């Protein structure tokens, strides 16, 4: 994508009226390979995007700590880090020999630069669904570096739209599977109690808007996506002892939400709104279910830190925050780890109601297109990319240089493998998950394609062999060829028969 296209897309989105409080995420491919990566971050911040993010495999950040620093200085707020499991084994399908070591180094470098890390895990049944609990344990062991986990159940798009029913049924993973796997693999949650649609947060965003008043420049972040798009669970972690408890285990989330709706509808003054919400937190708080050293006053402070009701200084969380602000907010003893699930659609479960409520549009040269519509169905991605191709691959390499390709189980060269994270040996996976292998089901589209090709070749070979044997039967048993030759050319049948049969 050219620099003029990048600027056009950013300008078009920010100028929509009524103006939105915008976040932008650069993705790809791998956005760090673009020669305009840092310039795009700077420009996004310059024109008014409050949160700038990048979806990345982490290789560039792991190799070059300076890139992480430059990206943070340019305005990068979040790195959505591809993260398939704990250990090199569950990452082996990417065919990079030391990919998990790369992830650890990327987290180290990004965190040191002040960028928040969100590990993003695509969950495929039979491939890495056993990693859910291990990833949560890893986040619990490192609460100062990881405050958000994003799990994404697989959506069968692109080459996987040709998937067989057998593999699709075997690999399908749902948000309900996620909720139950968290319980079964960590033993710390109850699916019906602890998980809420992502749009649940909007009730508390409305409360923050009421407290901040109509003169505030921007409203609070809200989420209006369809309830089937995503779910989330909040946990509270003691950064000193490592104790982790779901927030809704000690705070009645359903009743707190109902109370907050009533407070919002009352629309009273800032003082009475804060008083009313505080009383609701106190009445819904269960002290004997909370972490050992956590009190209701700590809970009130966490809400205040998140929504900024009292004006106390917890460290600026806005777009103009400094490293001092970042360190101040990170210094809090209590960490809130959010575990979220976002299920993008495919052709096999498409729901237009979800598309209509999409909150994650792709910005393109042709306007904004819903995430699921862009990647699924008629193939808007292919249409847009063909319409606006700026160069063929060899032309791009000639102009901008060829970025290094990591494949064939080759290891990424890292300046160091040292990191400050806690990595317990018991959560590190030493071998790949074998559920599908044991069931005799292929794992990936290229294997399926190869199997179809081999099956077709086997059919052709069998057909050729059957035709050959049928021809021999007609010749040797029925004598059909000899008789036909005799009729066609009398006097030459013997010689012809010898040629045909001999």
User: Domains of the chain: which residue ranges?
Assistant: 3-174+343-426, 449-501
List CB contacts of 215: < 8 A, sequence separation 6 or more: none
Q: Identify the pLDDT of residue 114.
A: 94
User: % helix / strand / coil in the chain, to the nearest 5?
Assistant: 50, 15, 35
pLDDT digits (tens, 9 = 90+) for 144-197: 999 999 999 999 988 888 899 999 999 999 999 999 999 999 999 999 999 999
User: Rounded to whole angstroms, how far apart are CA atoms 376 and 348?
Assistant: 10
Counting Cβ atoms within 10 Å, is residue 416 exposed (0-12), middle (13-18) or buried (19+)? exposed
The answer, as to whether pTM is greater than 0.75, is yes
Q: Tell the residue number behind the tokens 């059957």, with chain if given.
A: 466
Domain 3-174+343-426 falls under CATH 3.20.20: yes
Count, residues in the chain: 502
Please give the sequence-ordered ranges of beta strands (E in DSSP) within 230-296, or none if there are none: 230-238, 244-246
Give, as one character, the DSSP assignment of residue 417. -
User: Rounded to whole angstroms, how far apart are CA atoms 100 and 107?
Assistant: 11
Q: Which of 93-102, 284-293, 335-344, 397-406 has the lowest mean pLDDT?
A: 397-406
Please state the separation of Cα 501 from the chain's center in Å: 66
Q: Identify the pLDDT of residue 129.
A: 96
* Helices 65-74 and 37-47, packing angle to 10 deg: 20
Mean pLDDT value of segment 275-280: 96
Please state the separation of Cα 19 from the chain's center in Å: 27
Count of alpha carbons within 13 angstroms of residue 338, beta-carbon side = 16
Of the chain, the percentage scoring pLDDT greater than 70 comes to: 95
User: Rounded to whole angstroms, how far apart are CA atoms 450 and 440?
Assistant: 15
Q: Are 455 and 462 in contact (CB under 8 A)?
A: no
pLDDT digits (tens, 9 = 90+) for 211-247: 988 888 777 777 888 999 999 999 999 999 999 999 9
More confident residue, 484 or 32: 32
User: Rounded to whole angstroms, how far apart are CA atoms 121 and 148?
Assistant: 12
Q: Identify the pLDDT of residue 499.
A: 37
Mean pLDDT value of segment 64-89: 96
DSSP conformation letters of 305-341: HHH-SS---S---STT--HHHHHHHHT-SEEEEEEEE
DSSP H or E segment with residue 124: none
pLDDT digits (tens, 9 = 90+) for 361-393: 899 999 999 999 998 866 788 888 888 887 777
Mean pLDDT value of segment 333-338: 94
What number of other Cβ atoms are within 10 A of residue 472's Cβ?
12
Q: Identify the pLDDT of residue 393.
A: 75
Mean pLDDT value of segment 108-130: 96
Give, as one character, the DSSP assignment of residue 51. E
Q: Identify the pLDDT of residue 489.
A: 55
User: Rounded to whole angstroms, how far apart are CA atoms 370 and 110?
Assistant: 29
* Structural tokens at position 243: 């104790």
User: Rounded to whole angstroms, how far apart are CA atoms 271 and 310?
Assistant: 9
């Amino acid at each position: 994508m050219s620099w003029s296209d990048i600027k056009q897309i950013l300008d078009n989105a920010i100028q929509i009226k009524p103006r939105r409080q915008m976040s932008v995420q650069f993705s790809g491919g791998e956005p760090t390979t673009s020669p305009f990566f840092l310039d795009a971050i700077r420009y996004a911040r310059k024109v008014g995007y409050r949160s700038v993010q990048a979806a990345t495999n982490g290789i560039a950040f792991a190799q070059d700590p300076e890139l992480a620093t430059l990206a943070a200085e340019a305005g990068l707020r979040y790195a959505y880090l591809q993260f398939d499991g704990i250990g090199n084994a569950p990452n082996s399908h990417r065919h990079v020999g030391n990919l998990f070591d790369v992830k650890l180094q990327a987290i180290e470098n990004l965190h040191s630069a002040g960028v928040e890390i969100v590990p993003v895990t695509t969950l495929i049944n039979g491939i890495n669904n056993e990693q859910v609990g291990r990833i949560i344990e890893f986040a619990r062991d490192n609460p100062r570096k990881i405050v958000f986990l994003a799990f994404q159940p697989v959506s069968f798009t692109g080459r996987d739209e040709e998937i067989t029913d057998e593999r699709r049924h075997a690999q399908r993973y749902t948000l309900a599977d996620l909720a139950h796997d968290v319980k079964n693999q960590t033993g710390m949650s109850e699916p019906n109690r602890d998980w809420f649609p992502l749009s649940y947060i909007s009730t508390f965003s409305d409360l923050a808007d009421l407290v901040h008043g109509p003169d505030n420049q921007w409203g609070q972040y809200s989420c209006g996506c369809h309830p089937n798009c995503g779910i989330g669970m909040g946990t509270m972690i003691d950064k000193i002892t490592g104790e982790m408890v779901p927030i809704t285990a000690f705070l009645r989330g359903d009743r707190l939400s109902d109370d907050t709706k009533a407070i919002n509808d009352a629309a009273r003054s800032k003082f009475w709104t804060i008083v009313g919400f505080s009383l609701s937190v106190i009445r819904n708080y269960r002290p004997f279910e909370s972490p050992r050293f956590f009190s209701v006053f700590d809970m009130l402070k966490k809400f205040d830190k998140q929504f900024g009701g009292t004006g106390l200084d917890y460290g600026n969380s806005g777009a103009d925050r400094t490293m001092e602000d970042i360190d101040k907010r990170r210094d809090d003893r209590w960490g809130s780890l959010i575990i979220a699930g976002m299920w993008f659609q495919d052709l096999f479960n498409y729901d237009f109601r979800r598309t209509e409520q999409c909150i994650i549009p792709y910005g393109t040269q042709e306007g904004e297109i819903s995430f699921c519509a862009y990647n699924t169905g008629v193939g808007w991605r292919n249409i847009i990319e063909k319409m606006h191709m700026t160069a063929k691959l060899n032309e791009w390499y000639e102009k901008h240089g060829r970025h290094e390709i990591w494949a064939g189980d080759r290891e990424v060269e890292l300046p160091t493998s040292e990191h400050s994270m806690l990595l317990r040996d018991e959560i590190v996976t030493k071998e790949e998950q074998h559920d599908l292998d044991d069931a005799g089901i292929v794992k990936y589209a290229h294997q399926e394609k190869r199997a179809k090709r081999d099956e077709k070749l086997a059919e052709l070979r069998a057909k050729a062999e059957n035709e050959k044997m049928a021809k021999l039967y007609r010749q040797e048993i029925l004598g059909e060829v000899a008789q036909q030759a005799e009729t066609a050319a009398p006097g030459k049948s013997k010689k012809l028969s010898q040629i045909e049969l001999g």
